[in-house]
Structure 1
Amino acid sequence: MEKQVKKLRFDLSGYYFFGLILLVCLGFWPSYFAKFFNGTANFSYYFHFHATVLILWMSLLIIQPILIRKKQVALHRLLGKISYLLIPLIFISILLLTHSRIPHQGPLTDNDLVGAFNSCKDLVILATAFFIAIRYKKDYQLHARGMIVTGLAFIEPAFIRFAFRVISDPFVAYLTTIFTLYVVFLLIIYCERKQAKARWVFPLIVGLYMIAHGMVLFDILYFPFWRDFVFWFSHVPITTI
């Protein structure tokens, strides 16, 4: 008798994403959440807008798989329509926050170039994952993987802030962050190695991350073409300092 392959339980992902909330708190607590308690919160509207839409998205990532697990398919589909609004708002919030952090006058620093690139990378990952989820919304295996990647995309921004606090060397903190990210993806890829279909999603995302991280590690970001683009973007009148 042929041995049945055990499938990954993507309907359990909502519970695992509670761990993502913990990671976000670890990463952003001192620099954002804690400041509301000590009275030092002086963030721009762009930051609050960004935080709000991401919190809503993480909430959706937790609720939706639980609804599938509870066989509340109709409610799952109804709430799923919210994603068509939230994803554009997330994109807008990332663009506005990134633009507001870049100096609109004067020279650009290396941190400005890296920060803008990281935002661009996050947009590409989110766009790719959401496209897969919506393009294959009638294929549960592909749809689930696409939506899960939209959550895993939060690992790097949250973890690197935590790493910067506990590791004195910024370069080592960066390497630790991307190593952790790849470990998570490779563990998932290993666990689904015997799946019959849809195994291409996570390797595709890993490939995109490798390209992006390679551009950072090999200093491609400091080439004139990227500096010129960021300089142009900084002068587009969409935010005020």
Structure 2
Amino acid sequence: MKPDLFLNRSAIYVFIIFFLFALWAFWPGYFSPLIESKEVAIKYHTHGLGMMMWCMMLISQALLIRINKNSIHRLIGKFSYLLVPYIFFSTLDLVHSLMAEVTTWRAIDLFNLALMVNATFLFVLLFALAIYHRKHPGLHARYMVSTIFPLFTPVTDRLIHHHFKPILALVPKLEGIPLVPTAGFLLADILLLCLVVWDWSANKRKDAFLTALILVMVYHITTLTLYQFDFWRSFGVWFAGLW
């Protein structure tokens, strides 16, 4: 089987697995209250709706490619031009509401700000690269697969807190608080590195997945360091007071 054909046929399983892990991670704290009560704030709902729609779109688009329904794939793809801006602004609105509650900016608050803001911009950047290369199916598919990697830590954080608590003792701490996202960072980097190695060995390609790995690592490094700088604290204060 040709490497690109293998990727196109396998992508649906990657997206389904990621979506199932996301459901598992969020069910205790989000989906159950969604069914039983209205305790979850409206901004969590709007953000969560966007992310659910993104996961469902990835799965449906991969399925359409798998069954050679390319015209429907392109038609649904146009919806992403509305969905991604919705995700971008609803996420920043949620981050703002969380940061607006901060009265004394601690290092952990600045870390969390970088974690969420950087992931949001990286997600949009990887999507933009996928759209830029939409006429090159191999590149387009690889960048679309890569859009799930900025979304890892919300899933891995919750899974660790709810189901894999021994990992908390293994991650570094900031102000005595375990930096649980570092576990998600490591997993994302390992998986992307595996994709880079696979793509090179199977297809002699070192473009999309390598680019994604570099961008994801920049996201991880900046998230782990920005909290130390005064300009980031100033940005946090400015952002929290925007509206």
TM-score category (smaller protein): 0.7 to 0.9
TM-align CA RMSD:
2.2
Deviations 1:204-232 (A, max 9, x none): 22212222322344x43221110000100
Of 208, 232, 241, which residue of structure 1 is paired with 2:238?
A: 232
Counterpart-to-counterpart distance in 2, 1:64 and 1:105: 40
Aligned to 2:76: 79
Report the CA distance between 1:12 and its aligned residue. 2.6
8 Å contact from structure 1 (residues 67, 75) kept in 2: yes
Q: Which amino acid aligns with 1:25?
A: L
Counterpart-to-counterpart distance in 2, 1:105 and 1:132: 34
8 Å contact from structure 1 (residues 145, 202) kept in 2: yes
Describe the shift of the 1:224–1:139 C-alpha distance in structure 2 as closer, same or farther (beyond 3 A): same
Q: Which segments of 5 or more consecutive residues in structure 2 lack a partner in the other structure?
A: 173-177
Aligned to 2:175: none
Percent identical among aligned pairs is 27
Q: Which amino acid aligns with 1:115?
A: N
Counterpart-to-counterpart distance in 1, 2:168 and 2:139: 40
Deviations 1:122-142 (A, max 9, x none): 123212211111111110011
Of 139, 142, 158, which residue of structure 1 is paired with 2:136?
A: 139
More helix by share: 2
Aligned to 2:17: 19
**What's the TM-score, normalizing by structure 1?**
0.87
8 Å contact from structure 1 (residues 141, 198) kept in 2: no
Aligned to 2:31: 33
SS in 1 for 2:200: coil
Of 178, 203, 207, which residue of structure 2 is paired with 1:200?
A: 207
Report the CA distance between 1:72 and its aligned residue. 0.9
Describe the shift of the 1:222–1:83 C-alpha distance in structure 2 as closer, same or farther (beyond 3 A): same
2:41 is the counterpart of 1:44: yes
Q: Which has the higher contact order (CA 8 A, sep 6+)?
A: 1
Deviations 1:149-205 (A, max 9, x none): 122332222112212332333536443222211121112112111355653212222
Describe the shift of the 1:112–1:143 C-alpha distance in structure 2 as closer, same or farther (beyond 3 A): same
Aligned to 2:146: 149
Report the CA distance between 1:109 and its aligned residue. 2.8
Counterpart-to-counterpart distance in 1, 2:19 and 2:2: 31
Pairs aligned (count): 232
